[in-house]
Amino acid sequence: MWKVFLKELKEVVRDKKTMFFMILLPLLLFPVIIGGVAYFSSKAAKDAQSETLKYAIVNPQSAPELTTAIRESEGFEAIQMPEDADIREWVKTDQVDFVLKVPGNFSTDPLQVNQNQLQLYYNGAGFNAIKSRLNTLIEPIADRVQREAFARLNVTEEQQAALIAPIALEEVNVADARENIGEIVGGMVAYVVFILCLQGGMIPAADLGAGEKERGTLETLLISPIDRNKIVLGKFLTIAVAGVTTALITVISMAIWGVLVGQGLAIEAINKFLGAIDLMDLALIFFMLIPVVAIFSALLLSLSIYAKTFKEAQGYMGPLVMFVIVPVILATLPGIELEGVWAWVPLTNVALAMKELIKGTMDYYQLIGIFGSTAIIAGLLLGFCVHWFNKEKVLFR
């Protein structure tokens, strides 16, 4: 068995195309994706903050203080609105970024006019920061007006707070940083790792089964005096190792870049989160991955040996990704916990267990059941694969 395994592994390592997909891509792709998304989203937010907004104010004379504040702050450019223009239509034609409609009875004495209702017309399709930028100008005025009114009514500062919010709700979240982030990251990790294990095994699998048929080496291999199940096991192990290697490299790459980003940008939460996960949990996550990889490898090898050509094999493997994605996506959905029915759905339960492990809230006894059931499925599939390899109908199709 080891002879077959070593030889197959040697071939995989020498295949530049496979190596590219297995190592280089996850190593470089993730930083590029993560960095790219971070760069462009921060750039968009920055642009929205600093771009010059064209605006017009209806009834500016009613609120001279606010009008002056906007006019004098940087990044605002006043535009004269035509007399007969309909505000909605005018804003829609992109002549201005926003129109602020001040009511005629605007007053800075809240005791006289109750609440002032200002209307902000803007085109909300697309990313912008108009409201938040206006609020930073309006708030100081509103605060001052509020304080003056309270002062005239002889309300103390404590009473002011109580008047503004008679009943306040203070949140005390007992979940630590790890559980919080784990809920978000955990599902993602399982998703990425599963898909990569499958993807990483795919190209070698297509080569090891259908590739041998296509090249005409399979027949010679089958009639050599080595047990069929040893051939299957050797090939199976190669695919499994390829899948695990791909997943490991990716996860390590993600972790390293996560730490770098965390340290570099000094994001407290990420550092705390990564620091809280101990080696034991990481080892358990890896341990849970073994039967899953075995399931994938057995499936891939079965499909591959059935196919006549490399191309046909890849055709069969494409839909397999869809079958794997569904149970894993289920595990990332909020509200689906590792209990009841979900603890018995194959793949979903492993994904959920991985999430729990990352969150640090795993019931370790449950892990035994999940590992056991997944291992049984993997064993059955491997058995099927050996059976498949003994069928003339499959081998000489």
Partner 1 sequence: MIKISHLAKKFAVENPKKLSEQERQDPRLSGKYFHSVQDVSLTCQKGEVLGLLGPNGAGKTTTLRMLSTALKPDSGDIEIDGVSVVKKPLVARKAIGFLSGATGLYGRLTGRENIAYFGQLHGMTTQAINEKIDQLSEVLDLHTFLDRKCDNYSTGMKQKTAIARSVIHDPSLVVLDEPTTGLDIMAAQTVLDFINSLKEKGVPVIFSTHHLGEVGELCDRVTVINHGRSVFNDTVETFKNLAPGSLHQAFLNSLAGK
- Note the residues at the interface with partner 1 (CB under 8 A): 3-4, 7, 10-11, 14-15, 215-217, 219-226, 392-393, 395-396
Least Cβ distance, residue 125 to partner 1 (angstroms) = 54
Compare residues 91 and 208 and give the one whose CB is closer to partner 1.
208
CB-nearer residue toward partner 1: 20 or 323: 20
Q: Nearer Cβ to partner 1, position 131 or 391?
A: 391
Instruction: Tell me whether residue 49 or residue 309 sits nearer to partner 1 (CB atom).
Output: 309
Identify which of residues 3 and 88 has a Cβ nearer to partner 1 in the complex.
3
Can you tell me whether residue 379 is helix, strand or coil? helix
Kindly tell me which of 21 and 296 has the beta carbon lying closer to partner 1. 21
Q: Of 110, 119, 1, nearest to 59 (Cα)?
A: 119
**Closest distance of CB 333 from partner 1, Å:** 41
Smaller CB distance to partner 1: residue 279 or 393? Answer: 393
Cβ 227 to partner 1, closest distance in Å?
9
98-101 and 53-58 strand pairing: parallel
Nearest distance from C-beta of residue 5 to partner 1, angstroms: 12
Q: For residues 243 and 286, what is the distance between their CA atoms, to the nearest angstrom?
A: 12
Residues ≥6 apart with Cβ < 8 Å to 120:
98, 99, 100, 101, 130, 131, 134
CB of 226 to partner 1, least distance (A): 5
- Cβ contact 65:108 at 8 Å: yes
* Cα gap 23→159, rounded to integer Å: 64
Which of 216/334 has CB closer to partner 1? 216
State the nearest-atom distance from the C-beta of 387 to partner 1, in Å.
15
Which residue in 323, 307, 324, 305 sits closest to 315, CA to CA? Answer: 307
In whole angstroms, what is the distance from residue 216 CA to residue 232 CA? 17
The number of C-alpha atoms within 13 Å of 215 and in the hemisphere containing its C-beta is: 11
DSSP 25-90: HHHHHHHHHHHHHHHHHHHHHHHHHHSPEEEEEESGGG-HHHHHHHHHSTTEEE-PPPTT--HHHH
**Closer CB to partner 1, 65 or 219, in the complex:** 219
**What minimum distance in Å lies between the beta carbon of 236 and partner 1?**
17
**CA–CA gap between residue 165 and residue 181 (Å, rounded):** 31
The distance of closest approach from Cβ of residue 248 to partner 1 in the complex, given in angstroms and rounded to an integer, is 23
For residue 218, the minimal CB distance to partner 1 (Å) is 9
- Give start and end residues of each alpha helix (H) in 265-347: 268-276, 279-306, 310-332
| Residues paired with 314 in a beta bridge | none
3-state class (DSSP) for residue 337: coil
Name beta bridge partners: 78: 55
CB atoms within 10 A of CB 91: 21
Contact yes or no for 210/310 (Cβ under 8 A): yes
